[in-house]
A and B are shown apart, each in its own frame.
Chain A
Amino acid sequence: MNMYTKIANNGVNVEALVGAREALTETPEGAQFKWRASCDWVNGTHCNTSVEGFFGLGEEQSRKTNFKFDADHPEVFASEDKGATPVEYVLVGLASCLTAGIASVAQYRNIQLRSVRAIVEGDMDIQGILGIDSDVRNGYDGIRVMFEIDADATTEEIEAVVAQSQKRSAVFDIVTNPTQVEVTVK
């Protein structure tokens, strides 16, 4: 039963999000964002990616931290395992996006969360990337996300929050729909 006498606090500023939605409805050009990352090869399969600036709300945006991400492959791939594999970063993106969405949707619906954990697992037949079988795709054959959520809400309400989070998730969309990718060399 949705009979809350208090306001849920999941640490999400819903008023700001709702305000941004209204403002950007009026000025859709401000909604045009560009997200960026720059990746430097280190050695072997180890590379280091920085994420700092982005474009949005009509101008270049900077942030306080230059985030760094090491990516590599595990030792079974004869690599040095200096970071998560790129395909694991895809899982990081998907899980973080859905989980953040759950916090936001729950806040909007005044549902207090106590804990949320996503367990993500992707199936991959590496005969694809190794070029053994051309009928096998390189990427994930399927991804499963399992949420464990403790919240002041019924199972149906929690399921509805999780469903809405998928509906509004950028990474869920990126993973489930094709995207045009253009790669060039300078």
Chain B
Amino acid sequence: MKISNGQTRPPVVGDVTTIVIGAGQAGLAASRCLDERGIDHLILERGEIANSWRKERWQSLKLLTPNWQTVLPGHGYQGDNPDGFMGITELVSFLDDYARRISAPIVTGTTVESVSPMDDGYRVNTNRGVWHCRTVVMASGAFNIPVLPRFASALPTGIESLTPHDYRSPDEMAEGGVLVVGASATGLQLAREIQQSGRPVTLCVGEHVRLPRRYRGRDILHWMHCLGLLDESYREVDDISRARRVPSAQLVGSASHGDLDLNSLTRAGVNLVGRMAGLHNNKVQFSGALSNVCKMGDLKMNRLLRSIDDWIAEKGEDQLSMPAEEFSATNSGSKQALSMSLASGEIKSVVWACGFRPDYSWLKVPVLNRKNQLVHDGGVTASPGLYAMGLPFMRRRKSSFIFGAGDDARDISDHLAAYVANSVAARSIAVA
């Protein structure tokens, strides 16, 4: 059964070997790899192709990865700016185009309401009917729900509260001061453009990953690729649960290939404070540990840069590359504010850029831990035939990157195809 992209169809109750949930890069890559292995499948998509990219991202966002890394199985970026960075519109057309090229069997406008185990597979309940399937690939995204600190509910009324899913551009915000909570790529990008719009920003900075956009004349992702870091397996790292929690690096994709670090924000006038630690009686409190998180970020960045230097020296590419560079230490200031009144009128809006988590509220299969996180071994859950895609460091450091979907999709569909083949064999023996 193939349904062409974008077409709407009447409710179908059907049987299929595999249901893929979500038509983003992970679901599309999985579809392509399942197709190559002869696995009949359907992609159920709540909205349209690349829905989160279309509906849950801000206007100015560009990918953190250069265009040459925008690659899915069988198709990659073909434009004339391989070192540039795609905006959302361009990425959405890339994914639309990819879905067409691979004739992905997508049913759009179909929200999965529950997935539950049934004999020999899963029952997938949607707003447009029920499917039975042997296997499920959950490619519904890792960034479904913005994480808010527990004290966020104590925010006084009258102060606008935004998540990165609601935020579109500074023009839609109230005039006045903005508190941006979080120092990952999202927090820093939003802090910068909000500050540039004339709204004074206070940025709460906890542990973060500092990276220069370019080092010794090449994009940092080029070097991370050379060092094998992006392909590093989830089995090779010391502490995978920690590696999976690492926030996105402080990077921005821009035509200038410029850095987005705390020092550049300070120069732009952003006020740095420690991690938001409490909100009580209209008073927000900040941790006094800012200098340590900045120091840790600098130390980790410098360790990476030194290993790049070592790699270059080892490969004898010293002559070809620009000389080693030093980046100035993060200046966290000598006296940061430890608290701020929300009653004074200084802060008009708060943007919570504290990370995201996947939504598994529809998953009625006992594969979540006590913190409602999916328990999996490289995307393979303990429930036979139930797989994940696109989660941070799922099988490799690049798993949640667009170009990371391909290798994971190949591994997962290999596992899935073997499972289907074995269970078919087992069933024929039982029938015989």
Give the interface of A toward B (CB within 8 A). 28, 142, 156, 159-160, 163-164, 166-167, 172-173, 175-178
Contacts and interface: CB of A to CB of B under 8 A. Distances in A.
Nearest to A137: B338
B278 A177 contact: yes
Contacts of A142: 335
Given A176-B274, A178-B278, A163 B285 contact: no
B299 A163 contact: yes
Contact of A159 (B274, B288, B295): B295
Interface in B250-297: 274, 277-278, 280, 285, 287-289, 292, 295-296
A156 B299 contact: yes
Given A156-B302, A156-B303, A175 B288 contact: yes
A interface secondary structure, majority: helix
B356 to A, nearest CB: 23
Nearest to B289: A176
A177 B288 CA distance: 7
A183 B84 CA distance: 59
19 contacts: A156-B299, A159-B295, A159-B299, A160-B296, A160-B299, A160-B303, A163-B292, A163-B299, A172-B289, A172-B292, A175-B288, A176-B277, A176-B288, A177-B278, A177-B285, A177-B288, A178-B277, A178-B280, A178-B285
B373 to A, nearest CB: 13
Contacts, number: 39
Contacts of B288: 175-177
A176 B303 contact: no
A166 B278 contact: no
B277 A167 contact: no
Chain B interface size band reads 10 to 19
A103 B280 CA distance: 36
B287 A163 contact: no
Contacts of B335: 142
A175 B274 CA distance: 13
Nearest to B334: A142
A164 B295 CA distance: 10
A167 B296 contact: yes
A177 B295 contact: no
A177 B277 contact: yes
B407 to A, nearest CB: 29
The 5 nearest A-B residue pairs measured at CB: A176-B288, A177-B277, A176-B289, A178-B278, A166-B292
B372 to A, nearest CB: 14
B297 to A, nearest CB: 10
Interface of B: 207, 274, 277-278, 280, 285, 287-289, 292, 295-296, 299, 302-303, 335, 370
Contact of B287 (A160, A164, A176): A176
Contacts of B303: 156, 160
A178 B277 CA distance: 7
Contact of A166 (B277, B285, B289): B289
A173 B295 CA distance: 16
B278 A163 contact: no
Nearest to A166: B292
Contacts of B285: 177-178
A159 B299 CA distance: 8
A8 to B, nearest CB: 18
Contacts of B299: 156, 159-160, 163
A178 B370 CA distance: 27
**Residue from A156, A159, A163, A175 having most chain B Cβ neighbours under 10 A:** A163
Contacts of B274: 176
Given A167-B207, A177-B289, A178-B277, 19 more contacts: A28-B370, A142-B335, A156-B303, A159-B299, A160-B296, A160-B303, A164-B296, A166-B289, A166-B292, A172-B292, A173-B289, A175-B288, A176-B287, A176-B289, A177-B278, A177-B288, A178-B278, A178-B280, A178-B285
Contacts of A164: 296
Contacts of B296: 160, 163-164, 167
A142 B289 CA distance: 11
A38 B287 CA distance: 29
**Residue from B207, B285, B299, B302 having most chain A Cβ neighbours under 10 A:** B299
Nearest to A172: B289
Contacts of B277: 176-178
Contacts of B289: 166, 172-173, 176-177
Contact of A177 (B207, B287, B292): B287
Nearest to B277: A177
A163 B295 contact: yes
Contacts of B207: 167
Contacts of A160: 296, 299, 303
B203 to A, nearest CB: 17
Nearest to B297: A163
Contacts of B295: 159, 163
